[in-house]
């Protein structure tokens, strides 16, 4: 039952009990008044009976004393008693008006009649004494008639008193019983009213209102401070407190949901900010290693529950190799063929999981963790792969996160494609497309760098020219000439290795810079190049081209800033080698007298 209904009922019952209690008190007071009237009537009638008896005896005594003594005082007292007799007669008439019973009225009439008769005898005696008949007066007052009448009158008074006493006592008892009953009823009603008030005060105000309100006040205070961990006991009462409790439940659930949405929004904003930072850094990367480092740094921040790897496709577009990993993935191989991944085959993200109901990628081992492969594409071509797998006690990315994964994959793919395109353009700008060596432009830049740096380090320079190169073009065609060019350039690169850098100077001429090499060491490298080229007979399309020989001019300086001069000196040495019969190395050292020559093998 609702508190308002209980309160209305309690109010109505309280008003009714109060009205009944007031009525009971009114009836009790009325009964008490009736009791008082009955007591007064009882006392008045009792006094009247006593006065009748005493008055008759006193008047008789005064009359007798007067006739015996002749004292006028007694005569005056006798006549004074007559006035009292008239007052008693008036009281008797009032008793008749009070509603005395018939028996009482009969007894009262007997008393009045006998009193009149007695008064007449006594008046005759007093008159006889006044006529000097003392003996006659005494005979009348002390005679048997007077005694009989007096005795009868006293008996009638006694009977009257007994009747009035019985009636008034019965009326008094009835009035007292009614007064006591109404007083008891008023007390009971008042007690019930007090009990109802205390019950409402305790059970309604304290237990059903005050205590729940105090408890809910603490809960609401904590909820107002956004402490949604507070426990809100479910109160299924169908009243206002129950409705308030339900409203608090709804408020707490809404607050928890709002916090969850705020946390998701903040996490989403954080994710977007990290993705934006990652994109900015991807755009600023100049090398693939830098790109791999950026992806490995930001991927675990964006998706802390997902381990992963970044794979890049090789130039032949046949296989992928891992260039970066984070959070220790263990399902995928470090390298695998491109055909082993369903994401690359389909050109769209692919989930490999036992409970996903789809085929798993071949580059993943048999593990229960789910794996997600997102292909990296640029202009419709697959250039790599982003692989993610769930960590223990984590779930695969939701749909919203899946969109972020694909967005990251798209940007990483574009960044990888840009770097690869930049590398290609760089190679085209600094390398010779036929031989793969650095071109003349790269040589000029290095010469300027050596000159500008002025590092004062030793520097050796070789100028290499293929002997009788025109013969290969004329006899075997330009394709054979190109094959000879590639052959010579490859021997130069393989022989020099990391000790220097090789350039195609122009036509069939090549240049090599060897920074930090000693003079004898540089000359030894030049000789190995010459002998390695000469030692193998070359063939092209089944035709023997014969042995290839080169002439080498070499220059050396203790100061790398003299690179441009060094290049001229090496070129002069080369001309000298060619003029000297070819297939030889001539080294031009700082002292013109100090020259080393090697003839043809």
469-476 and 478-496 helices, crossing angle to 10°: 140
Q: Of the residues 377, 394, 426, which one is the last residue of a structural domain?
A: 426
Burial of 582 (0-12, 13-18, 19+ CB in 10 A): middle
Residue numbers of the domain that contains 485: 431-597
**Euclidean distance between CA atoms 463 and 460, whole angstroms:** 10
CATH number at residue 185: 1.20.120
Same domain, 447 and 415: no
Q: Supply the CATH number for residue 463's domain.
A: 3.30.70.270
CATH number assigned to the domain comprising residue 323: 3.30.450.40
Tokens standing for residue 257: 């949901």
Residues 334 and 472 in one domain: no
pTM of the predicted protein model: 0.53
Whether 104 and 146 map to the same domain: the answer is yes
Does 60 map to a domain? yes
Do 22 and 156 share a structural domain?
Answer: yes
The verdict on 22 and 139 lying in the same domain is yes
Terminal C-alpha separation, the chain: 120
Residue 403 within any structural domain of the chain: yes
Number of domains within the chain: 3
User: C-alpha distances in angstroms, 58 versus 51, 139, 155, 438?
Assistant: 10, 19, 16, 172
Identify whether 220 is part of a domain.
Answer: no
> Phi/psi class of residue 432: alpha, beta or left (left: φ > 0; alpha: ψ in -120 to 50)?
beta
**pLDDT profile of the chain (601 residues), mean per 10:** 66 78 78 71 67 68 73 70 59 62 74 76 77 76 77 78 76 79 83 77 67 75 75 70 75 81 87 90 89 92 90 88 90 91 90 77 81 87 89 54 83 87 78 89 89 80 93 89 92 93 93 92 93 86 86 90 87 92 86 49 51
Contacts of 555 (CB under 8 A, 6+ apart): 460, 461, 566, 567, 569, 570, 573, 587, 588, 589
Q: Which of 175, 196, 217 is the last residue of a domain?
A: 196
Q: Say if 16 falls within a structural domain.
A: yes
pLDDT of the residue at 525:
94
* Strands (E) located in 265-359: 306-313, 319-326, 335-337, 350-352
> Given this model, what pLDDT does residue 60 score?
73
Residue 212 resides in a domain = no
> Are 313 and 384 part of one and the same domain?
yes
Q: Are 452 and 562 in contact (CB under 8 A)?
A: no
What span, in angstroms and rounded, lies between the C-alpha atoms of 371 and 307?
Answer: 9
Q: Kindly report the CA angle at 238 between 232 and 242, in degrees rounded to 5?
A: 25
446 with 407, same domain: the answer is no
Would you say residue 257 lies in a domain? Answer: no
Query: Torsion-angle region of residue 477: left (phi > 0), alpha (psi -120 to 50) or beta?
Result: left
Q: Are residues 420 and 447 in the same domain?
A: no
Together in a domain, 456 and 330: no
* Burial zone of 377 (CB within 10 Å; 0-12 exposed, 13-18 middle, 19+ buried): buried
The answer to whether residues 566 and 521 belong to one domain is: yes
One domain for residues 419 and 346:
yes
Domain assignment present for residue 65? The answer is yes
Domain boundary among the residues 196, 215, 250 is at 196
Same domain, 412 and 450: no
What is the rounded CA–CA span in Å between residue 250 and residue 256? 10
- Please check whether residue 120 lies inside any domain of the structure: yes
């Amino acid at each position: 039952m609702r508190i308002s209904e209980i309160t209305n009922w309690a109010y109505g019952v309280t008003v009714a009990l109060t009205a009944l209690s007031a009525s009971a008190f009114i009836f009790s007071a009325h009964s008490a008044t009736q009791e008082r009237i009955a007591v007064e009537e009882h006392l008045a009638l009792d006094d009247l009976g006593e006065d009748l008896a005493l008055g008759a005896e006193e008047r008789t005594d005064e009359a007798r004393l007067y006739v015996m003594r002749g004292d006028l005082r007694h005569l005056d007292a006798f006549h004074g008693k007559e006035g009292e007799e008239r007052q008693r007669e008036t009281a008797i008439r009032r008793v008749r008006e009070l509603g005395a019973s018939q028996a009482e009225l009969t007894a009262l009439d007997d008393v009045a009649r006998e009193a009149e008769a007695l008064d007449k005898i006594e008046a005759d005696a007093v008159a006889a004494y006044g006529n000097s008949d003392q003996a006659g007066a005494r005979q009348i007052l002390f005679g048997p008639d007077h005694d009989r009448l007096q005795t009868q009158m006293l008996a009638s008074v006694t009977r009257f008193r007994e009747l009035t006493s019985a009636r008034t006592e019965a009326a008094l008892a009835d009035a007292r019983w009614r007064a006591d009953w109404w007083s008891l009823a008023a007390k009971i009603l008042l007690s019930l009213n007090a009990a109802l008030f205390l019950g409402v005060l305790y059970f309604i105000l304290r237990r059903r209102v005050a205590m729940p309100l105090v408890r809910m006040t603490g809960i609401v205070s904590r909820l107002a401070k956004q402490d949604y961990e507070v426990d809100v006991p479910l109160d299924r009462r169908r009243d206002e407190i129950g409705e308030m409790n339900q409203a608090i439940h709804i408020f707490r659930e809404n607050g928890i949901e709002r916090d969850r949405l705020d946390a998701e929004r903040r996490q989403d904003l954080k994710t977007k900010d990290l993705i934006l930072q990652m994109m900015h850094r991807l755009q600023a990367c100049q090398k693939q290693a830098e790109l791999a480092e950026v992806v490995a740094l930001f991927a675990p921040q964006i998706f802390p529950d997902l381990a992963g790897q970044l794979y890049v496709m090789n130039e032949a577009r046949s296989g992928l190799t891992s260039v970066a990993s984070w959070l220790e993935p263990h399902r995928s191989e470090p390298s695998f063929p491109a055909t082993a991944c369903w994401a690359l085959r389909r050109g769209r993200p692919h989930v490999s999981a036992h409970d996903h109901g789809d085929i798993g990628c071949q580059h993943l081992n048999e593990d229960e963790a789910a794996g997600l492969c997102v292909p990296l594409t640029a202009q419709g071509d697959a250039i790599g792969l982003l692989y993610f797998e769930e960590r223990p006690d984590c779930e695969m990315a939701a749909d919203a996160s899946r969109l972020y994964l694909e967005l990251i994959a798209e940007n990483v793919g574009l960044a990888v494609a840009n770097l690869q395109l930049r590398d290609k353009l760089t190679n085209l700008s600094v390398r010779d497309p036929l031989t793969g060596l650095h071109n003349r432009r790269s040589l000029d830049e290095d010469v300027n760098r050596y000159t500008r740096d002025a590092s004062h380090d030793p520097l050796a320079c070789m100028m290499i020219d293929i002997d009788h190169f025109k013969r290969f073009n004329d006899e075997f065609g330009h394709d054979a000439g190109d094959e000879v060019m590639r052959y010579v350039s490859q021997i130069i690169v393989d022989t020099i290795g990391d000790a220097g850098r090789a350039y195609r100077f122009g036509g069939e001429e090549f240049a090599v810079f060897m920074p930090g090499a000693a003079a004898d060491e540089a000359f030894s490298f030049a000789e190995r190049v010459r002998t390695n080229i000469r030692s193998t007979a070359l063939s092209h399309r089944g035709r023997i081209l014969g042995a290839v020989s080169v002439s080498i001019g070499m220059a050396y300086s203790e100061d790398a800033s003299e690179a441009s001069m060094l290049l001229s000196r090496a070129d002069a040495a080369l001309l000298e080698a060619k003029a000297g019969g070819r297939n030889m190395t001539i080294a031009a050292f700082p002292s013109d007298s100090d020259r080393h020559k090697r003839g043809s093998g």
